[in-house]
């Protein structure tokens, strides 16, 4: 079954519908290379609470479809060398919640909270971009 979602980060960054049927589990080294930008260490406010980390992740430019794709490609990995600590704790939580919502699964209060923060952050980014565009001074061109 093919599933899809629509990502809207901002008017200029709208990503077309993304198909997820091609998501295949990646080997550890390939996943670490492909998704390095989603590691907790790469997120702004990575030392903040979970909400701040999610906001930092979204403000970093990642889309919902990328997070779902990431989750589907990495959820099988285990990290015994770090006692189960994944380098992508925040992205994994967000990707799993978005994937569950996309599949129509029952969401826990925890996952609903994550999705609320993601949607609120995206809405704020879209509104902020619209406000910046409206406030930008219009340059007059001189005709000669």
d(C-alpha 6, C-alpha 102), whole Å: 10
Check whether 110 has a pLDDT greater than 80. Answer: yes
Distances (CA, A) of 122 to 26, 59, 68, 87, 130: 28, 8, 16, 24, 12
Cβ–Cβ < 8 Å for 40, 87: yes
Residue scoring higher pLDDT (63 or 10): 63
Mapped onto helix, strand or coil, the DSSP state of residue 62 is coil
CA-to-CA distance for 58 and 101, rounded, in angstroms? 18
- 59 strand-pairing partners: none
pLDDT 10s digits, 117-137:
999 999 999 998 877 777 776
> Model's pTM, two decimal places?
0.77
pLDDT mean across residues, the chain? 82
pLDDT tens profile 47-88:
889 999 999 999 999 999 999 999 999 999 998 888 888 999
The mean pLDDT of 9-37, rounded to a whole number, is 70
């Amino acid at each position: 079954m093919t599933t899809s979602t629509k990502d809207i980060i901002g008017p200029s960054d709208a990503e077309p519908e993304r198909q997820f049927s091609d998501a295949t589990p990646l080997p550890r080294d390939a996943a670490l290379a492909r998704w390095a930008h989603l590691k907790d260490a790469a997120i702004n406010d990575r030392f903040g609470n979970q909400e701040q980390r999610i906001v930092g992740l979204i403000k970093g430019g990642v889309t919902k479809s990328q997070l779902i794709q990431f989750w589907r490609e990495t959820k099988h990995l285990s990290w015994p060398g770090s006692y189960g600590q994944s380098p992508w704790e925040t992205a994994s939580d967000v990707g799993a919640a978005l994937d569950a919502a996309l599949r129509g699964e029952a969401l826990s209060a925890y996952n609903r909270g994550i999705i609320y923060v993601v949607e609120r952050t995206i809405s704020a980014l879209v509104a902020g971009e619209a406000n910046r565009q409206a406030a930008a001074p219009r340059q007059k061109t001189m005709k000669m």
